[in-house]
Structure 1
Amino acid sequence: MLKLTEEAVGNFFEIPIGISDDLVQELADGLEKVATFRLIFLDSNTAFCDSLYVGDVTNAKICPALRNLKKNLTFLAAIVTDRAQPLAVKEVMKASFEAFLMTLLAGGSTRIFLKLDHEMILEDFKSLKCVFCSYGEGLVAEEVVDKEAKIIEGVVELMGQPIDQLVEDFSIAACKASGMGMIGTGQKLPMPPTTGRWNRADANTILRVLYYRNDIVANHFLKTTFQLAKRR
């Protein structure tokens, strides 16, 4: 990867002199991130983003995506140097986790979840974690995997909460995010902004969990509060 990067930089800038090691390393790291995100969001798109939990959770679980992921990791190991493999696999892990989270919170009209689904989703995510914990004799330390997994595990826990708890948590988080404090008589809950930092305490994240919940009470709350259309 470093050699390819150095050649690419030289060709692009047409610089006949040497390039600093720091620049080469920085560009190599960037290329690895691009390559790993391509691996998940393009090369594995059919098995992952386009298929996981489409229709329902029971009949669209993660097994096909894991088979595809393991195959791609084997391919990655064949083209990346031993020195670069830990970082490359870590970036694949982060991209995989991001794709999983997007499936839960921004999966589009083909996905909708029941409260009971969170148990199967958690099992699927544990299987995804295991791919990286067991790959390559500890290329990615288990504590690193656990750290990256915390946000997703928090979101899955939200998916297992009852609607009344989700509505209460959302109301508190939305008011806090807007600086309103408590909602007074006649006031409406503010629509929370998309922060791009999804987590179980984020109002936009909780709103998305409510939006994708297949539940009459959730639909009614979203309709009366934000005029959001019924999911199904």
Structure 2
Amino acid sequence: MTNSPTGGPGNGQQTLVAPSILAADFAFLARDIAAVPSADWLHIDVMDAHFVPNLSFGLPIATAVQPHTDKHLDVHLMIADPQRWAKDYADFDSVTFHLEAVDSLAAARELAAQLRASGTLAGISVKPDTPVDPLLDHLADFDLVLVMSVEPGFGGQKFRPEVLGKVRALRERIDRDGLATLIEIDGGIGAETAAQAAAAGVDVYVAGSSVFGAPDPDAAVQQIRQAAVQAQ
């Protein structure tokens, strides 16, 4: 596993495409993972049917992915009580939990510190209607900020462009302070919306159905990356 974000202080905006295995065929995960060799990361959505209304999978399925790839495995915990469960995923490359699932920003910073001490990158995620303003003075405490561009819980939703204001605010603060914190976006991402997100300052593009629902998943990954690079 990797122990540092791609890039570093002052390195500026990155372009990383992270196909979400939530949109893959669960009966053939190894096959579908192999179908996206151009991916930079693989995104693993864990849902508990409490924090979000859907149930996906937990640690056993996530762990089953590990022997089949050497890519950065990016876990997104859409679960209640992440303080209890997040550290179980510390063997993955990055673990992101939701700001809305903890009691306070102080609790989020404490959990992020625990994850980092366990050897993984720590991410914080916000739903479309949650502001990022409280995070702006504490971005150094997180390795990535995941901005949801749909309501979390289901794939295939339409991209909400109004969240890009949060991306711009994050990009400005990260660049101003010379931080390595990455900005990730998840929800309704394809080539067109990746271009919009890139122009706002996103580093990591999570794409599910637009990749694994495409006739050629790897070509879809490359199209997303190309659109993002051209829009930066």
Instruction: Assess same fold via TM > 0.5.
Output: no
TM-score normalised according to structure 1 size: 0.26
TM-score normalised according to structure 2 size: 0.26
- Higher RCO, 1 vs 2 (CA within 8 Å, ≥6 residues apart): 2
| Larger fraction in helix | 1
Higher Cα Rg, which structure: 1
| Larger fraction in strand | 2
